[in-house]
Amino acid sequence: IGVMGDSAGSHVAASAGTLFNDPVVNTGSPLDKVSGRPDFMILLFSVLTMEPPYAHRDSKTNLIGPNPTQEEMDHYSLEKQVTADTPPTFLVHSEQDTTVSLENEMQFYQALIKNHVPAELHLYPLATHGSGLDPSFGPTSIWQKLCEEWMRWNGWIPKSDTSLMKIQSRADIPARGAAGRSARRGGSGFGRGRGPAPAATAPAPDAATPSASN
């Protein structure tokens, strides 16, 4: 089960992926014993930080009021809440977005990488806020296809004859000695809690595999 959010909705989705153990979500119900952690997140043109200078003013005011404490800003600046348990994340933003600063996505991505959470960041030159499916914005309009391939690569959706990838699943990477077997055991959490494999022994990525674009 994954979550997806756009703009302020990304803050809701990312809260599900970072604050799922926060006391504020406990209701006293038996359901509190069931983890609310999503398996993955898709965050688009996102409001993620409450810290100046990159916070979106209206979202910040609506969430924590016009005069929040530093503790409140820290708590709801979700780049500060990323841990190794944060789910794999797919992020999209545009340099042309003048409503929400793309640094929201960039800071969150940096936190994911620091915590060894699998992530893809797609930054595009064109697309106004929330207009990522408009075909007039060129490459930005195909982010959903790359997202589909990312989900397929991680085993969350079935393989497809129309996939852009020659190898459609991380689990299908051929083993290449001990290093290859280690990479295959990593599954969708590859890299979590570990540094990258040495360049000389790491399996070579497939040329068609989606990667962060700029």
In percent, the amount of the chain with pLDDT more than 70 equals: 81
Does position 1 have pLDDT exceeding 60, yes or no?
Answer: yes
pLDDT, average across residues 22-49? 91
Cα 192 from chain centre: 14
Supply the pTM of this predicted model: 0.79
Cis peptide before 196 (omega within 30 of 0): no
pLDDT the model gives residue 31: 86
Residues 9 and 42: their CA atoms lie apart, in Å, by 11
Query: 161-186: per-residue pLDDT in tens?
Result: 999 999 999 889 887 654 544 444 44
Beta strands in the chain (DSSP E): 2-6, 40-44, 89-94, 119-124
pLDDT, average across residues 35-39? 93
Mean pLDDT rounded to a whole number for the chain: 84
Does position 188 have pLDDT exceeding 90, yes or no?
Answer: no
> Six-digit token pair at 99?
């409503």
pLDDT the model gives residue 190: 39
Dihedral angle over CA of 200, 202, 205, 211, nearest 10: -100
